A and B are shown apart, each in its own frame.
Chain A
Amino acid sequence: MEWTAIVMQLFTGLSLGMLYVLLALGLSIIFGLLTVVNFAHGAMYMWGAFAGVATVAITGNFWLALLISPLVIGGYGLLVERTLIRPLYGRDINYPLLLTFGLQFIMIEIIRIFWGTSDRPFSAPASLSMPVEILGIFYFPSYRLFVIGITLMICIVLWIFLEKTNLGLVIRAGTRDPLMVRALGIDMRRIWWLVFGIGSALAGIAGILAAPIRSVFPEMGIAMLVECFVVVVVGGMGSLKGAILSGIIMGEASSITTLFYPQMADIVIFLVMAVVLLIRPSGLFGKAGLLE
């Protein structure tokens, strides 16, 4: 096997991993702070893609869609938390999971009603359509490089937000010791509300970034959801570092497996999960607070 093929495979694995990273970050943030498993995360990802489709249909501008999608889905997340999830706090930990499980079906049907069941074409903007030569060795779609780049940017922004701002400080404290934070007089519920919105926005932007690569259709979040869960569990639920690392690992694992034994590509992430969990039952970075 030529080493150029392997290098190219590593690049494709990285771009695949980036989508996982965005989705896993959103899920992890929500779980880390609220201990809510957002089963509707895949549906939010899908809504992000459709929000992009709608925006481009109206304005014809991809960059605008890139901005609007996370805002719309984030806003939707705020709504969901306030009306549907908040009443469930104090009850068994499983209820928000069950609720979001049902919610995703409603979200899928709504899209089916308005857009039908068939695929929506969605292309990357012209500026990103040309393949780019990497290291003089092979051609790689510039759009995927863009996805890698923008995901890294988002991670950096998120890191700055959590490390350098007061709000970020409260969020980090909230994952470690919610009782203490409340004792200090801070209303955690607003924080939870905000974080759910942020997590949803991350799912939304993942959706629109994925749209030119994959087809846009109502069920696109279903398969993604399970893979996303596996990534989060491996990284450690509630750990951002874990989500990023796990996303990249899973993307590369899937990609490299495809090179050598493609039939196993679906199964490999489950195998990785089984192995990781047997060694470290809480995932790579366990249950500690965010960014640890």
Chain B
Amino acid sequence: MKETAIEGILEIENQKARVQKQGGWQRLVEIVSRNPLVFIFAFFIIFPFIVPYKALATQIIIWGLFALGYNVCLGYTGMLSFGHAAYFGMGAYTAGIVLIRLLENIWFALFCGLLMGAVMAFILGYLCIKRRGIYFAMLTLAFAQLLYFVGFQWVDLTGGDNGLRNIPAVPLSIFGLSIDIYSPLRFYFFVLFFVALSLLAINLILQSPFGHVLQAVRENDQRAKSCGYETSNIRWLAFVISGAISGLAGGLYALYLHFVGIESLYWTTSGQVVMMTLLGGMGSFIGPFIGAGVFLYLEDVLSAITPNWMIFLGTVFVLCVLFFPAGIWGTIIDLTARRKR
């Protein structure tokens, strides 16, 4: 009896101590997850200096942006789309074609890419959004494949399987200045600018009432409907936003490579962004970037070691699905959140 009483008191004391001793790491993770944008920006400013080569950093943030856009669809709205290559690829081709044929202006080209992504998502969204779950995934996959075949055949416009080549390296014209942005470091910061803009935009959207409705729709579609929300329209709008960001990422990718390959429309591109998003963690800002970073870094490192690198990446992904469905960042948050109790 006495022992249990004493032990009980000790337990309370320990709990207090534990709460006070809430380690620096838990606090850090908490602060980071509350103010993700600040930390993301800060990290990305030093990022190109800590990776083996700057082009890899640029690649990571472009795909991170794509994954961010995709996350709006999967993580924040709960729709598993397997056809996002359509928006990425169309954005890339549009930006490239605009530069080659229409106007040698980067802002305009990127804007067109973003717009095309949105328009595509608008159209395909209309066709697919009524279906849920698996049917939705399969439909998005099939329509994206349709676009792939069209792009493949329309050689005059896209270059077909040879790809869209000879995208001019147009200097950036801003405030009357003409800046060459094509050195590795400069291009990285150029892309970072757009990534930052997109993050701010998405943040605004998600903090807004619309963002909260999105979450409600993800959690329980029926209940949201019974509250009077037109859920399919809401999901459609989220889909369009997702498509727009993916299109922007595609446009940036076209500028980065001076080239658009037909694979950017193939379902393996869609699959890759799904894997990245899951790997990093859905439903957060940081997750997609971590996913893109880990995926591309591993791929880079592993392909130098073995041609069979896919087996490691595939295994990591499978393990992730089995044991860490919240992804890397999601798991970190979970672990630290659990501690507080």
Contacts and interface: CB of A to CB of B under 8 A. Distances in A.
Given A230-B142, A270-B146, A281 B313 contact: no
Contact of A263 (B80, B134, B141, B153): B153
Contact of A233 (B80, B133, B135, B146): B135
Interface stretch (B113-121, B196-204, B314-322): B314-322
Interface residues of B, number: 35
Contacts of B278: 98
Interface stretch (B33-41, B252-260, B267-275): B267-275
A37 B145 contact: no
B118 to A, nearest CB: 21
Contacts of B339: none
A1 B150 CA distance: 28
B325 interface: yes
B134 A267 contact: no
B234 interface: no
A136 interface: no
Given A106-B315, A273-B142, A95 B325 contact: yes
Contact of A93 (B133, B308, B322): B133
Interface string A92-113: 0111011101111110111011
Interface residues of A, number: 40
The majority secondary structure among interface residues of chain A is helix
Interface in A241-292: 263, 266-267, 270-271, 273-274, 277-278, 281-282
Given A91-B325, A99-B321, A270 B142 contact: yes
A136 B131 CA distance: 49
A230 B145 CA distance: 11
B274 A103 contact: no
Nearest to A222: B268
A226 interface: yes
A102 B321 contact: yes
A103 B314 contact: yes
A18 interface: no
Given A97-B137, A263-B153, A273-B142, A281 B318 contact: no
B161 to A, nearest CB: 13
Interface string B268-286: 0001001100100000000
Given A31-B134, A233-B139, A106 B311 contact: yes
Given A97-B134, A233-B135, A267-B149, A102 B317 contact: yes
A56 to B, nearest CB: 25
B235 to A, nearest CB: 15
A282 B307 CA distance: 42
A226 B314 contact: no
Given A97-B80, A266-B149, A109 B310 contact: yes
B322 A233 contact: no
17 contacts: A35-B134, A98-B274, A98-B317, A99-B321, A99-B322, A102-B314, A102-B318, A103-B318, A106-B311, A112-B307, A113-B308, A229-B142, A237-B135, A267-B146, A274-B142, A277-B139, A282-B135
Given A102-B275, A106-B318, 11 more contacts: A88-B321, A93-B134, A94-B80, A97-B134, A101-B274, A104-B314, A105-B310, A226-B145, A263-B153, A274-B127, A281-B130
